[in-house]
Amino acid sequence: MFEYVLLFVVSLVANAFSAFAGGGAGLLQLPALIFLGLPFSVALATHKLASVALGVGATARQLQERALDWRFALLILATGVPGVVLGASLVLRVPDRPAEIALGILTLGLGLYSRSKPGLGLVAQAAHRNRRGYLIGGGVLFAIGILNGSLTSGTGLFVTLWLVRWFGLDYQRAVAYTLVLVGLFWNGSGALTLGLLGQVQWDWVPVLLVASALGGYVGAHFAIARGSRWIKLAYEIVTVLVGIRLIVG
């Protein structure tokens, strides 16, 4: 019972912060699963499956706002999902620590970069909405998808900043796309692939699903209510923490 209560609390907090900042649920949830005794590959598959519920909860809240352009969303899906499947297929062949350290340095760099640009993502200014822009943007989303499928911790943060920096979205709109498309569809693809190739701790899944869905809804609600300035601050805090956690191990 203690394990279930701990799982619920950690998952609720992690996913609420993730839904507010645009990523980073793995900062707490994945290490907690490993701490409770799961091998890395089992913890990764279980976390990935549970994180789909984050997308469900966030989608339920975001759809009430009717704020997504589904043609643009299709680009994120079409370029990201193949990368996720590829990354999830390769994860068991990748050395864990070197990859985590590299990802941690990149993630930390995201937070510092955003912090160095005070006006970044506060006002939407559409950019690179032509064939060349979509090709480059989609290529980077494919690469992020590979990271999402293989290393899971914080890669939604990469998507959020890329949508802000390359396509000119504000943080509020970028987080909405990340929560719905990465949280639901990218993570769903990764969970399916890892579930087929690896193992899932199925008796923990119901608790994680409920906590993740509730956390996703609550975090998405606060993201909508607070706006881009608060989301930007939360994003910078979460990226720095995720980066340090990955580097330290």
Q: What single-letter amino acid sits at 222?
A: F
Are the C-beta atoms of residues 247 and 44 closer than 8 Å to each other? no
Please give the share of the chain, as a percent, with pLDDT higher than 70.
93
Residue ranges of the chain whose pLDDT lies below 50: none
> What are the pLDDT digits (tens) for 66-91?
667 888 999 999 999 999 888 877 76
> What are the pLDDT digits (tens) for 194-241?
777 778 888 888 999 899 889 888 888 888 888 888 888 888 888 888
Helix axes 2-21, 155-165, angle to 10 degrees: 10
Query: Quick one: tokens of 210?
Result: 């409920």
Residue bearing tokens 């996703």: 216
Q: What is the pLDDT of residue 152?
A: 58
Q: What is the pLDDT of residue 137?
A: 95
**Where exactly are the structural domains of the chain?**
2-248
CA 189 → CA 26, 73, 98, 235, distances in Å? 17, 16, 25, 25
**How many Å apart are CA 195 and CA 173, to the nearest integer?**
31
**For the purposes of burial, counting CB atoms within 10 Å of the CB of 13, is it exposed (0-12), middle (13-18) or buried (19 or more)?**
middle
Number of residues that make up the chain: 249
